[in-house]
Chain A
Amino acid sequence: MEEMRILLRNKDKINPTSAQDYIQTGGYEALRKALSMDGQEIIDTLKAAGLRGRGGAGFPTHMKMQFAKNAEDDVKYVVCNADEGEPGTNKDRVLLTTDPNSVFEGMAIAAKAIGAHKGFIYLRAEYPYVFPILKEAIENARAARCLGDDILGSGFSFDIEIHSGAGAYVCGEETALFESIEGHRGEPRYRPPFPGTKGLFGKPTLLNNVETLANFAPILRNGPDWFRKIGSEGSPGTKLFTICGNVNHRGVYEFPMGVNLKEIIYDVCGGIAEGKGLLAVQTGGSSGAIINATQIDLPLDIDHVSASGGRLGCGTILVIDDTNCIVDIVRNNLDFFRSESCGQCTPCREGGTHLYELICKICDGKGTLRDMDTIVDLANTMRITALCGLGHSTAVPVLTSLQNFREVYESHLDGDYCPVCGKDWGN
Chain B
Amino acid sequence: MNQDAYNAYSHKTSSDQLVEVAKIAAPYKNRPEMLMSVVIQVQRKVRALSEDVAAVIAREMGIPQTNVYSFITFYAMLSVKPRGKYIIRMCESAPCHVRGAKEIVRALEKMLNIKMGETTEDGRFTLEYCPCLGICDISPAIMINHETYGNLTPGSVTQLIKRYIREDV
Contacts and interface: CB of A to CB of B under 8 A. Distances in A.
Interface of A: 84-90, 93, 124-129, 163-169, 180-186, 201, 242, 244-246, 250-252, 282, 286, 318, 320-321, 324, 329, 332-333, 335-336, 339-340, 342, 424, 427
Contacts of B146: 128-129
Sorted nearest first, the 8 A-B pairs with minimum C-beta distance are: A167-B76, A244-B136, A166-B75, A87-B93, A167-B77, A183-B35, A87-B132, A185-B74
B39 interface: yes
B134 interface: yes
B164 interface: no
B51 interface: no
Interface in B79-138: 92-95, 97-99, 102, 106, 130-138
Contacts of B77: 125, 166-167
5 contacts: A88-B94, A164-B36, A168-B74, A184-B67, A329-B98
B71 interface: yes
A183 B34 contact: yes
B42 to A, nearest CB: 12
Contacts of A88: 93-95, 132, 136
B3 interface: no
A89 B139 CA distance: 12
B8 interface: no
B19 interface: no
Interface string B133-164: 11111110001001010000000000000000
Contacts of A245: 94-95, 98-99, 136, 139
Nearest to B105: A427
B74 A186 contact: yes
Given A184-B71, A427-B106, 19 more contacts: A85-B131, A87-B131, A87-B132, A93-B134, A126-B132, A126-B143, A163-B36, A166-B39, A167-B130, A181-B36, A186-B74, A244-B137, A245-B99, A246-B98, A250-B139, A286-B94, A320-B94, A332-B92, A336-B131
Contacts of A167: 75-78, 130-131
B32 interface: yes
B98 A318 contact: yes
Contacts of A246: 98-99
Given A86-B132, A185-B70, A333 B76 contact: no
Contact of A250 (B70, B97, B106, B137): B137
A102 to B, nearest CB: 19
B98 A168 contact: no
Interface in B39-78: 39-40, 63, 67, 70-71, 74-78
Given A126-B133, A168-B76, A333 B36 contact: no
Nearest to A342: B74
Interface residues on B, range: 35 or more
Contact of B130 (A126, A184, A332): A126
B62 to A, nearest CB: 12
Given A166-B77, A318-B95, A180 B132 contact: no
Nearest to A91: B134
Nearest to A84: B134
B102 A340 contact: no
B131 A332 contact: no
Given A166-B76, A244-B139, A89 B134 contact: yes
Nearest to B32: A183
Nearest to B31: A183
B93 A332 contact: yes
B4 interface: no
B33 interface: yes
A183 B98 contact: no
A86 B93 CA distance: 10
Contacts of B39: 166
A320 B98 contact: yes
Contacts of B35: 183
A283 B71 CA distance: 33
Contacts of A127: 134
B143 A164 contact: no
A332 B40 CA distance: 29
Which of A166, A180, A251 has most chain B Cβ within 10 Å? A166
B139 A165 contact: no
Contacts of B74: 168, 185-186, 342
A266 B39 CA distance: 46
Contact of A242 (B32, B94, B98, B136): B136
A183 B74 CA distance: 12
Contacts of B76: 166-168
B78 A89 contact: no
Contacts of B70: 185
Contact of B94 (A93, A169, A329, A427): A329
Contacts of B131: 85, 87, 126, 167, 169, 336, 339-340
Nearest to B109: A427
B36 A183 contact: yes
B94 A333 contact: yes
B97 to A, nearest CB: 5
